[in-house]
Structure 1
Amino acid sequence: MKGGMVPTWLELLLATQFFTICTNHLSSTRNECNLFCIDCKESKGGFCYYCRSRHHSTHRVIQIRRSSYHDVVRVAELKDILDISDVQTYVINSATVVFLNERPQHRGCGVSAIKASSSSYNCEICNRALLDPFRFCSLGCNLKGIKEDMRTSVPIGDIIDYTRKDDDTDSSNTSGNSGNNEGSCSDADYCKDNPSPARVIRHRRKGIPQRAPFF
């Protein structure tokens, strides 16, 4: 997700609550909503195994998994459809995964605070300590970072050089005013009643007077 390229389905993925019971298959055994379709433009979120075979059999579907009560997805399922090169990866159950959203952390005390203070790498959004030189700890923080970059970046062509315009205006006004001051007065009566102030001529101070020599 570099250069502001954010897929339309990503925000829905991050906002979806997974591992709920599918209302269409309450009596089934595999009725947890832990699947997500990236091809359905009108997708409403997660669905279960039976919904996939019925409505998404030909679509691209990714499976959401759980690690310490947090949602993760395998890198192998995302590498072909999403740029995750800036997101910290973890190895869980022999599989490389990334976290979907930012995980809450206790600040100021405990083991997590010690790790954060001694870590050389931190998430640019939530400041979570990272294991490797990545920018973000999760897909959610990556998305927030992209939005901030898009908000603060200003195209060069939109910048207006007001300084040059002001300089030109000031120079024209100055020249115009000087011309009016130096020119002859058009109203003779006004010039007669309001003569221009006389120019004060200052002479240089005379040197030390030289006295005639005493004989």
Structure 2
Amino acid sequence: MSASSKFVPQVFQVAQNQNEKPEWLEAFLQRTFFDSCSVHPIRRNEKNRYCINCDASACQYCMTCTTHPHHTILKIYRHVYKDVVSLSAMEKYIDCAEIQPYKCNKRLVIALNPLPHCGPTSKNETSCDICNRRLAEPDLYRYCSISCKVIAFERKSSDSAPPFLSIQSPYKEKRKELLLKTEQPKHKRKGIPQRAPFF
């Protein structure tokens, strides 16, 4: 099997293997991003894409080459100097429920690995089940990053535990409400003109 197709079957086996971790996920979490692309030594050539099919980080110019047609691509963003991925993009492939999302340029994102500002908690604070880092909303979430949920999935006691993979996350509507709450209300500069009553 060629390198470019080794991850293809696992990407789309969500329905059949909902209790399995996709084989590309571990490699994805260990990748480094935002280095300069050696193939395209031009402006804005940082590697901020991940091709699931090829298991490779790539730049925006690599995506237009013939190497990645019809491949599954994830775009990587930076949040407090760490790699994050769009929540809406990632939840197509894994169950992102209970992973703390963050707001980044009006977009909900989740961290690949724990973020530096989520420091250790005191005894009375609720924290990430795996790394004990602080959670902004501990009532809604249990993990601070994808890697922490992966570790929790690997430690689960039985196959009857909630699946790791899910195309339709049951928490999707809740996340939409959260996004609407965090958006600033838009106020019109002027209201409807009011005339004084005629006597």
The TM-score range, normalised by the shorter chain, is 0.5 to 0.7
1:98 is paired with a residue whose SS is: strand
Moved over 6 A (4+): none
1:6 is paired with a residue whose SS is: coil
Alpha-carbon spacing, 1:119–1:96, altered in 2? closer, same or farther (3 Å)? farther
Whole-angstrom CA distance in 1 between matches of 2:125 and 2:132: 11
Alpha-carbon spacing, 1:18–1:154, altered in 2? closer, same or farther (3 Å)? closer
Q: Report if the CA contact (8 A) 1:64-1:73 is conserved.
A: yes
Name the amino acid aligned to 2:72: R
Is 1:53 aligned to 2:68, yes or no? no
Whole-angstrom CA distance in 2 between matches of 1:14 and 1:86: 18
Give TM-score scaled by structure 2 length: 0.63
Name the amino acid aligned to 1:63: K
Select the residue among 56, 60, 81 that pairs with 1:69: 81
Aligned length: 142
Q: Report if the CA contact (8 A) 2:19-2:159 is conserved.
A: no
Is 1:37 aligned to 2:51, yes or no? yes
Name the amino acid aligned to 2:46: E
Give TM-score scaled by structure 1 length: 0.59
Deviation of 1:35 after TM superposition, in Å, equals 0.3
Q: Which has the higher Rg, Structure 1 or Structure 2?
A: 1
Select the residue among 30, 35, 38 that pairs with 1:15: 30
Higher relative contact order at CA 8 Å, sep ≥6: structure 1 or structure 2? 2
2:84 is paired with a residue whose SS is: strand
Alpha-carbon spacing, 1:148–1:105, altered in 2? closer, same or farther (3 Å)? farther
Deviation of 1:8 after TM superposition, in Å, equals 1.1
Select the residue among 105, 110, 119 that pairs with 1:98: 110
Q: Which residue of 1 aligns with 2:94?
A: 82
Q: Which residue of 2 aligns with 1:125?
A: 130
What whole-Å deviation, never above 9, does each CA across 1:153-200 have from its counterpart, x for those lacking one? 499xxxxxxxxxxxxxxxxxxxxxxxxxxxxxxxxxxxxxxxxxxxxx
Is 1:5 aligned to 2:20, yes or no? yes
**What's the RMSD between the two structures over aligned residues?**
2.6
